[in-house]
Amino acid sequence: MKKVSKSWKSFDFGPDKISPKRTKSPNDHMDTFLVEQKFIAKSHSKDSFFDFFSDLIPKTTSDLAVHSKKIEEVKVCLERILSYDNTSFLVLSGPTGCGKTATLNVLCKEMGVSISEWINPIDQDFELVRGPNQVNRFLEFISTESNYTSLFEVSAVKKIVLVEDFPNVFVRNNSEFADILEECYYKSRYPIVFICTEVANNKNNLMYNLFPQEVLTKYQITHISFNSCAPTLLKNCLRRAHDLIKKNKDYFQVPSPDTVDAILSSSMGDIRCAVNQYYFASLLGSKEMPTEKSFRVKPSAKRKRNEKSCNIKIMAKDETLGLFHALGRILNPKRKEHGKSWRLNCDLENLITELESQPENVISFLFANYIKYFGDFSELQEASDLISLSQKFFEKWSETRDLHQYPLWISVMGLMIWNSHKVSKWNQIEGPKKFKKNILRTKETLCTLDEFYINIIRKNHNNS
């Protein structure tokens, strides 16, 4: 299901004798895992004559668990950038295991384009000369690889350069990357495709750090973003796996449909994760996967979402109740009659623990959105009062972060309790407004307040 048959020639025969060992950047854990799996599979089934994973790799576009429109989009884009004379870049981004690399591989194969991929080298002296060396090599790779075809290829063959494995330096220092891009833009002859895995927090998000909007526009980079796999597509993929397993009944057992369902829902659109789980479930001798049936049977409406996705205990993807889910719950509080009074129908403790890691951000989000969800003005006023109160605790200059869950409690509870006339139509959740104060302090405009008059005077001076 993952990359194969790439031309690694530059590593094998390159002047540097770079070790061809594959290394992986940290956010690609699953990939490494996959490789290991493959290894195990091979050794296990020495006499099985078949390799589950390599057989499962999509060969045609129809095999891909990606929406056909998205495939088309990538294809068109690839054709376009291949037709250009000078360098162009393409960025593919999306969550892990949504088939970015697979799509590229399949498409390139179909179009007869060869791929050379940059892979972070591991050397003995790697520790000693980490930083610049890696960058230099990267640059060298980009410029040689993208300018000269290797001996083994027919020179007429079209080629793209793939960078999925960003040198670690860039992750930390993105300004350097901008320089490299600049250089590539002029030097390289072949299109370069970058694949960025999207991560939830902005700090590690390569897409966000390395390709900000201004870079995208500057080099006219096409950016295609992938969504995580739709369940139906995922199911198709598993069906293919199912057929494979069926053919080799001697060595594998066919997992029950229940298990398949559980796998589908717990993988949360990560195809790699789903396939791994499927493989694990189908290994001979393994019992039925321990699904958490007890949860599923319980007809509580309250935890529906949760329960669906925690039915496989092991190997399930780290499940987090996303920020947006939580926001939705806060902004749309459900109430439960409780005798004469009422209670909030929500697991508050859980909600808060989910949000605890980023209280300030959450409150900003709440602030940006809460107005739309209120139906009564006096309630709104109370809520805004509480938000303001909670915000006060994020003291301007203090660095103490230990107490930040309390303001979170205040604002969350405030919003939920006061909102009794809620507006329950669907509202899009907006991100908090980012604004920058543009303070111009020149020698003459000591403060922004007087700028107005200075502008008047200056304008007239210029006119006359």
Partner 1 sequence: MSLLWCDKYRPKDFSKLDYHKDQGMALKSLTKDGDFPHLLVYGPMGAGKKTRIMCLLRELYGPGVERLRSEVMNFTTPSNKKLEISTVSSNYHLEVNPSDVGIYDRVVIMNIIKNVAQTQQLDVNGQKAFKIIVLTDVDSLTKDAQHALRRTMEKYIATCRLILCATSTSRVIPAVRSRCLCIRVPAPTTEEVVKIIVETASSEDVDFPKKLAERIAVMSERNLRRALLMSEACKVESDGKLTPDQNIAEADWLVMIRETARLILAEQSIAQLKKVRENLFELICRGIPSEIIFKYLLDQLLEQCQLGLAAEILENAAIYEHQMIRGNKEIFHFEAFVAKCMYLYQNVLEEMKCDF
Residues near partner 1, by CB under 8 A: 363-364, 367, 371, 374, 377-378, 380-381, 384-385, 387-389, 391-397, 433, 435-441, 443-444, 446-450, 452-454, 456-457, 460-461
Q: How far is the CB of 204 from partner 1 (least distance, A)?
A: 17
> Which residues lie below 8 Å from residue 410, measured CB to CB, with a gap of 6+?
386, 389, 390, 393
Q: What is the smallest separation between the CB atom of 401 and partner 1, expressed in angstroms?
A: 13
We find the least distance from the C-beta atom of residue 190 to partner 1, in angstroms, to be 36
Minimum distance, C-beta of residue 384 to partner 1, in the bound complex (Å): 4
Computed over its alpha carbons, how large is the radius of gyration of the chain?
Answer: 27
3 state SS for the chain: CCCCCCECHHHHHCCCCCCCCCCCCHHHHHHHHHHHHHHHHHHHCCCCCCCHHHHHCCCCHHHCCCCHHHHHHHHHHHHHHHHCCCCCEEEEEECCCCCHHHHHHHHHHHHCEEEEEECCCCCHHHCCCHHHHHHHHHHHHHHHHCCCCCCCCCCCCEEEEEECCCCHHHHHCHHHHHHHHHHHHHHCCCCEEEEEECCCCCCCCHHHHHCCHHHHHHCCCEEEECCCCCHHHHHHHHHHHHHHHHHCCCCECCCCHHHHHHHHHHCCCCHHHHHHHHHHHHECCCCCCCECHHHHHCCCCCCHHHHHHCCECCCCCCCCCCHHHHHHHHHCCCEEEECCEEEECCCHHHHHHHHCCCHHHHHHHHHHHHHHHCCCHHHHHHHHHHHHHHHHCCCCCCCCCCCCHHHHHHHHHHHHHHCCCCCCCCCCCCCCCCCCCCCCCCCCCCCHHHHHHHHHHHHHHHHC
Q: Which is nearer to partner 1, 251 or 394 (CB)?
A: 394
Look-up of token digits 């999925």: 164
User: Residue 213 or residue 463: which is nearer to partner 1 going by CB?
Assistant: 463
- Residue closer to partner 1 (CB basis): 46 or 433: 433
Q: Distance from CA of residue 14 to its chain's centroid?
A: 33
Q: How far is the CB of 422 from partner 1 (least distance, A)?
A: 12
CB of 449 to partner 1, least distance (A): 7
Tokens of 188: 């390289």
Q: Which residue number, 122 or 371, has a Cβ lying nearer to partner 1?
A: 371
Q: Which is nearer to partner 1, 11 or 365 (CB)?
A: 365
Residues 6+ apart with CB under 8 A from 97: 30, 228, 229, 267, 269, 270, 271, 272, 273, 274
* C-beta of 156 vs 440, nearer to partner 1: 440
Judged by CB, which is closer to partner 1: 47, or 402? 402
CB of 416 to partner 1, least distance (A): 17
Which one, 340 or 441, has the nearer CB to partner 1? 441
Q: How far is the CB of 139 from partner 1 (least distance, A)?
A: 24
Structure tokens at 147: 């300018």
CB of 317 to partner 1, least distance (A): 33
**Residue nearer to partner 1 on the CB measure, 12 or 430:** 430
87 vs 390, beta carbon nearer partner 1: 390
Task: State the nearest-atom distance from the C-beta of 394 to partner 1, in Å.
Answer: 6
Q: Which residue's CB is nearer to partner 1, number 250 or number 444?
A: 444
Residue 171 CB, shortest distance to partner 1, in Å, is 15
